[in-house]
A and B are shown apart, each in its own frame.
Chain A
């Protein structure tokens, strides 16, 4: 239809402001006062509310449809998570750790909406590939930093770095295979996620406070992997290793607000 184009544009201003408020709110809540998390909430939800009121008109029809679909998905998954958490707390007749459980639901809501929007913008293969690359990169930095911090001996340091690549390499391998063999990669991701659930999440403590805090971390790790796996399994394209999806500008969707 049209020639492929030149470079990338900056994200729109409302998205930048919203993202800045989210980061600012998180930092303020960590280092100044926990109640200042409300600043992050303004960034996360403010632009969307302004758009629905018709006071902010910065999205075209495709972006609005993607946002509405992401919101519906977040409502479904977040609603289910809320019912499960409330049911669990009532079953155990406790409200201990309620704030952490609420944070967990918010994390699930936000991640579901984000992932749904990414799928709308990038498609399953590119989304899964970039998620895995991001995970692999962060984990590589974390593992190497741990090795540097704990090793005094050069040989021990080199062995630690080598072992870290063994841990990190599967993420990069799966990021590559996601674009070429999506269904097989999706099955692999779901298998790895199931193993992680069984081996690490399930045995974690019985205390509701500890469990909810740990689950936030597990959710941040598992939800993208599980969602990527499901999206790849449902990918309707052929397992064509020569298929190239590198044409889009790669700009992230305006999903903060």
Chain B
């Protein structure tokens, strides 16, 4: 899936997806949930609090 396709699916611009990936923008709860649903994973898989280790 391209960034543009992901952006179209969740209803934002590609720039927004890029900013989220770069850590320059923290999405709203609604957008975070839509992203997680698109990938079929829990929100915690996509996002974590900085400094905390992710235990898989």
Contacts and interface: CB of A to CB of B under 8 A. Distances in A.
Interface of A: 1-6, 9, 60-63, 65, 120-121, 123, 247-249, 251, 253
B44 to A, nearest CB: 15
A2 B2 contact: yes
A114 to B, nearest CB: 16
14 contacts: A1-B17, A2-B2, A5-B3, A5-B14, A6-B2, A60-B13, A62-B19, A62-B27, A63-B15, A65-B25, A121-B15, A247-B18, A248-B15, A249-B14
Interface string B19-55: 1111011011001000000000000001000000000
Given A1-B21, A123-B22, A123-B24, A62 B15 contact: yes
A2 B6 contact: yes
Contacts of B2: 2-6
B1 A249 contact: no
A62 B16 CA distance: 6
A257 to B, nearest CB: 16
A4 B3 contact: yes
A148 B55 CA distance: 66
B5 to A, nearest CB: 7
A51 to B, nearest CB: 15
B3 A2 contact: yes
Contacts of A123: 22, 24
A9 B3 CA distance: 13
The residue among A3, A5, A6, A251 with the most chain B CB atoms within 10 A of its own CB is A5
A61 B15 contact: no
A60 B11 contact: yes
A47 to B, nearest CB: 16
A121 B18 CA distance: 9
B13 A61 contact: no
Contacts of B6: 1-2
A6 B4 contact: yes
A1 B18 CA distance: 9
Contacts of B27: 61-62
The residue among A2, A61, A63, A121 with the most chain B CB atoms within 10 A of its own CB is A2
B3 A62 contact: no
